[in-house]
């Protein structure tokens, strides 16, 4: 009976005429009744447009309950009037149905389909990583490397050159209307190939919504600072000494402190969004230049909290531009510095001042996302903040809500971490939680870098 409408289609039947979807409740949700599951399936069909309510010519469908927590829904993509249903972007429409049902019955709230989360690796990618013993799928590693290069670059020429310098393959997409105009790009790891030994490319949009070339161009163009760009370019071309690197780290710490103050004082969501996005750039650069795995994972988690829905570019603001300029400068002074490990030890305290100031931005962003009703992004900001504090202050702290570290603790942490940086920060700072400590009075939540 489900297939009979296919015979009366005015056009040829679709290649895949069967539409399938499963609905599942969270483990903590109550068990829904049969009537409620039937209502849920009906809502799904209505929101997707496959079988709108009060439409006698809608597609035929059936729902089967296999267990207490889920049902399977199957529909035939052929209407009774001989037309095909419009299932364009059906996953977004299905997501809306889920949100409606969650609010109606008080179920566990899931994240909206707003592309603030990076695309997940596919099952074949996960299985291949597991089979080869890789730490993570290639898609995740590429996203992190592309994000770091984008944060340290000031334009697409430097961006593409930076990708190639890291050993990545870059494929450009050109406009069919305007010859020579670059409209997009894709990257590949030379060691990640298909059955024909050809490299597998990932476009910027397949890595993250904010890594497409048009959105990167907006980021680079909106935050242009001629003086900072020239300074960064000069640092890239010449040998950089300790004093220049030390000054760059201190400027970054001060820029982060200023951004945190703006996050607390302003109520403009556009300013907060730009600061949040710029802080993500700083985190990616800091993780990249140190090679610190924990800091890289924090940057990944925080990136979701910082993205605007569907990767929409943020409005450029002075505090955000200062953070981005600081990120590019820090990246520039760490190019070709010889014995990177020994030199980084000298700058560990400055780096930790920068991290401590970024914690303020994370806390303010979590509250901001919560006020916006973006629960998933608020949770991402909190998780990033907690993980960064664990890495900075030790993993054996109590379950009491973490408080911002004061200057004395950051200086002590810097001396400890300097012994083994850039190994994971938690290894060097875990001793903080074990040592007896007395409360240090805090006069202000604002943290700044050391005076020059």
Chain centroid, CA 59 distance in Å = 38
- For residue 196, the model assigns a pLDDT of 94
pLDDT higher than 60, residue 404:
no
Tell me the pTM: 0.73
Confidence of residue 16 (pLDDT cuts 50, 70, 90): confident
Peptide bond into 169 cis (omega under 30): no
Residues 215, 219, 221, 226, Cα dihedral to 10°: -160
- For residue 427, the model assigns a pLDDT of 40
Q: Per-residue pLDDT tens for 72-88? A: 999 999 999 888 899 98
Burial 236-260 (b: 16+ CB within 10 A, else e): beeebeeebbbebbbbbbbbbbbbb
pLDDT higher than 70, residue 428:
no
Q: Per-residue pLDDT tens for 234-270? A: 544 455 677 778 888 889 999 999 999 999 999 999 9
- For residue 335, the model assigns a pLDDT of 56
C-alpha–C-alpha distance, residues 329 and 236, integer Å:
9
C-alpha–C-alpha distance, residues 179 and 143, integer Å:
29
Nearest to 138 by CA among 150, 122, 162, 153: 122
Q: Per-residue pLDDT tens for 100-130? A: 999 999 999 888 778 888 999 999 999 999 9
Least confident piece of the model among 40-49, 110-119, 192-201, 305-314 = 110-119
From residue 57, give the alpha-carbon distance in Å to each of 11, 60, 94, 183, 372. Answer: 16, 9, 21, 43, 40
Q: How many CB atoms lie within 10 A of CB 344?
A: 20
C-alpha–C-alpha distance, residues 60 and 8, integer Å:
13
Token pair for 98: 């889920």
C-alpha–C-alpha distance, residues 117 and 383, integer Å:
14
């Amino acid at each position: 009976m489900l297939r009979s409408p296919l015979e009366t289609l005015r056009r040829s039947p679709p290649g895949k005429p069967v539409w399938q979807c499963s609905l599942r409740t969270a483990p903590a949700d109550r068990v829904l009744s049969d009537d409620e599951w039937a209502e849920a399936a009906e809502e799904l069909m209505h929101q997707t447009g496959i079988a709108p309510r009060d439409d006698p010519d809608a597609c035929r469908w059936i729902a089967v309950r296999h267990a207490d927590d889920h049902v399977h829904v199957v529909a035939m993509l052929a209407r009774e009037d001989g037309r095909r249903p419009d299932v364009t972007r059906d996953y977004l429409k299905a997501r809306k149905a889920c949100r409606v049902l969650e609010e109606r019955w008080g179920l566990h709230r899931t994240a909206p389909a707003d592309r603030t989360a990076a695309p997940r690796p596919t099952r074949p990618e996960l299985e291949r990583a597991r089979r080869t013993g890789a730490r993570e799928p290639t898609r995740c590693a590429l996203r992190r490397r592309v994000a770091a290069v984008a944060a340290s670059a000031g334009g697409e020429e430097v961006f593409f050159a930076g990708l190639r310098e890291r050993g990545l393959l870059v494929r450009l997409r050109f406009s069919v209307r305007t010859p020579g105009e670059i409209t997009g790009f894709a990257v590949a790891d030379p060691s990640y190939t298909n059955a024909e030994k050809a490299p597998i490319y990932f476009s910027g949009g397949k890595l993250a919504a904010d890594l497409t070339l048009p959105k990167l161009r907006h980021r680079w163009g909106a935050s242009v600072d001629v003086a900072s760009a020239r300074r960064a370019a000069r640092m890239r071309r010449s040998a950089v000494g300790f004093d220049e690197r030390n000054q760059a780290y201190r400027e970054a710490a001060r820029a982060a402190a200023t951004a945190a103050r703006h996050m607390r004082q302003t109520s403009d969501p556009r300013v907060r969004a730009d600061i949040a996005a710029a802080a993500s750039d700083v985190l990616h650069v800091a993780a990249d230049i140190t090679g610190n795995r924990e800091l890289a994972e924090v940057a990944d988690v925080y990136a979701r909290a910082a993205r605007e829905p569907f990767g929409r570019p943020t409005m450029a603001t002075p505090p955000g531009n200062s953070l981005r300029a600081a990120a590019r400068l820090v990246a520039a002074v760490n190019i070709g510095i010889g014995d990177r490990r020994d030199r980084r030890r000298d700058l560990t305290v400055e780096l930790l001042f920068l991290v401590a100031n970024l914690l303020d931005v994370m806390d303010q962003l979590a509250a901001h996302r919560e006020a916006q009703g973006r629960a998933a992004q608020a949770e991402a900001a909190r998780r990033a903040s907690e993980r960064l504090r664990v890495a900075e202050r030790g993993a054996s702290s109590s379950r009491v809500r973490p408080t911002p570290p004061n200057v004395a603790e950051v200086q002590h942490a810097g001396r400890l971490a300097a012994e083994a940086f850039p190994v994971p920060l938690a290894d060097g700072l875990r001793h903080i939680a074990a040592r007896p400590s007395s409360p240090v009075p805090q006069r202000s939540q604002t943290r700044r870098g050391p005076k020059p």
